[in-house]
Amino acid sequence: MKTIEIPELALVALIGASGSGKSTLARRHFLPTEVLSSDFFRGLVSDDETIRLARTMHSTRCTT
């Protein structure tokens, strides 16, 4: 297994295709309080974490 050393004060961005294991890697290697999930924040805006158009929907609501 390959080891990557991450400095204590660092920001790590996991970028990849849907289903590629980003969330799994984050759960296995970081504390829950160290992970910011875009799905979670999408849910705050749209009340549904699975909606990919949350930003558009939010903007539309705010401009009407």
pLDDT tens by residue, 31-46: 999 998 887 887 888 8
Q: Which positions ≥6 away from 39 have C-beta within 8 Å?
A: 49, 50
Q: What is the pLDDT of residues 3-31, one digit of tens each?
A: 889 998 999 999 999 899 998 999 999 99
What CA–CA distance (Å, rounded) separates 10 from 39?
21
pTM to 2 decimal places: 0.58
Largest distance between two CA atoms of the chain:
53
